[in-house]
Amino acid sequence: MSSIAVDVSPEVIDWVMRSVTNNLNDGVLENLIKWKTGDKKPTFNQVETISKATRIPLGYFFLQTPPVETFPILQHRTIGSQSADTPSRELIDTINDMENIQEWMRSYMIESDYDCLAVVGCKKNERNPHEVVKSVRKELEIKKDWYKDINDATEAFRFFRKRLEDIGILVMMSGIVGNNTHRPLDISEFRAFTLIDEYAPLIFINANDSQSAKLFSLLHELSHIWVGVDNFYNDRYGNANTVSAVEVICNAIAAEILVPNELFVTEWGKMRGQDALIKVSEAKKIFRCGVVVAARKALDNQYINKTQYQAIVDEAIAQFHDSRRGASGGNYYATAASRIDKRFLIALDNSTKEGKTQFTDAFRLTNTNRNTFSNLMEKVRGIG
């Protein structure tokens, strides 16, 4: 069968080329064009090769008409965009991976007689962000001035991530699909997303964002869990002029948790005689947040104007792109452990040892093999 010529619909070929327009090398594109025009008829092996190269399921190539792929999470995107309407294969595969993890964890929780999480949707009818913030602080057991015990945004992210994981919220983070470094996740496409579930709510953070942006994204997404609404967060710098009422509330919740306005006003008042832009920089250090968040607080309090705010945002974007040049990977197991929720990994490991989950399923869910899974678990169980 491998050498026998097969038929591939020209409409399907068109769909393939549109779906992976930015990831087609010249050889793949040339073959697809020849298949479409009829100058060349592919063999099964050649279709299989193209399937692997484009990350499009093999079965799709043998449909008579292009597949209709639906991704409910994209209906909850923060701002509308063409890229969100036609998601990359990297995003599609990431969503599928996270849905599989959530489905496994949900089943595990139910079979293990765990109760559903009370925080999921507990403030779905609340329209006052401050009431939601009170609930978050209570459930996570954090003080209003939590930042005083934290050194920087990286440590703050770890602090909030652990608090969320401790109450049963899955927090996943990666900058690539699986373990494939040739398939990076584009932060211009999305920063984070949340999949709501009463047993296994899941937050995914795009690790290619800046440290301070990942921190804000995490707090934004936890807000969605409290209000019980899925979210696809693709507003890179909070510049969207039109967002839903839920997004307005969740942005306000995240900002108030990160930088309590009452304390911000107090700290701003202490910095007498300084230039407003210098004060923004100082506020960033005090509250362990990004300069854009500090600038937004200053703008909302009318300490700076929109022109000054936009200048700060533009500078932050430029600095972020500069910082990304030459970025490298690091230790495999440390990176892998940071990508996957610790509680999920331990549950998965326990389930395999009890014979309830096959090792092949564990390897599939974690993008590992027998050796790397074992080593990863040693790393994770050694984390305090």
Residue 93 maps to a domain = no
Which pLDDT score is estimated for 174?
Answer: 95
Which pLDDT score is estimated for 38?
Answer: 83
Which pLDDT score is estimated for 384?
Answer: 45
Q: Do 154 and 343 touch, CB atoms closer than 8 A?
A: no
- 44 and 174 share a domain? no
Question: SS3 of 281, please?
Answer: helix
Which pLDDT score is estimated for 335?
Answer: 85
Which pLDDT score is estimated for 83?
Answer: 47
- 204 and 305 share a domain? yes
- 207 and 264 share a domain? yes
Residue 94 maps to a domain = no
Q: List the chain residues with pLDDT less than 50.
A: 81-83, 240, 384
Residue 74 maps to a domain = no
Residue 176 phi/psi, 5-degree rounding, is: -140, 170
- 146 and 281 share a domain? yes
- 310 and 365 share a domain? no
Residue 177 phi/psi, 5-degree rounding, is: -85, 120
Which pLDDT score is estimated for 14?
Answer: 87
Closest listed residue to residue 221, CA positions, set 197, 253, 243? 253
Q: Find the radius of gyration of the CA atoms of the chain.
A: 23
Question: Going by DSSP bridges, is the β-strand pair 202-206/180-184 parallel, antiparallel, or unpaired?
Answer: unpaired
- CA dist 304 and 296 (Å) reads 9
Domain that includes residue 345, residue range: 332-381
Which pLDDT score is estimated for 80?
Answer: 55
**Residue written as tokens 């050889």?**
27
- 135 and 104 share a domain? yes
Residue 360 maps to a domain = yes
**283, 301, 324 — which closes off a domain?**
324
pLDDT tens-digit series, residues 222-274: 999 999 998 888 775 555 455 678 888 999 999 999 999 999 999 999 998 88
Read off the pTM.
0.88
- 265 and 341 share a domain? no
Residue 83 maps to a domain = no
Which pLDDT score is estimated for 234?
Answer: 77
Distances, alpha carbon 355 to alpha carbons 314, 367, 380, in Å? 54, 20, 20
- 161 and 294 share a domain? yes
Q: Where are the alpha helices (DSSP H) in the chain?
A: 10-19, 26-37, 44-54, 82-85, 89-111, 129-140, 153-166, 211-227, 245-258, 261-270, 276-287, 291-300, 306-324, 332-339, 342-353, 359-366, 370-381
Residue 82 maps to a domain = no
- 233 and 360 share a domain? no
Residue 78 maps to a domain = no
Q: Do 110 and 352 touch, CB atoms closer than 8 A?
A: no
Which pLDDT score is estimated for 318?
Answer: 85
**275, 304, 324 — which closes off a domain?**
324
Residue 87 maps to a domain = no
- 47 and 178 share a domain? no
Overall domain count for the chain: 3
- 342 and 315 share a domain? no
Torsional class of 228: left (φ above 0), alpha (ψ -120 to 50), beta (otherwise):
left
- 199 and 297 share a domain? yes
Which pLDDT score is estimated for 107?
Answer: 97
Distances, alpha carbon 65 to alpha carbons 10, 31, 306, in Å? 9, 19, 49
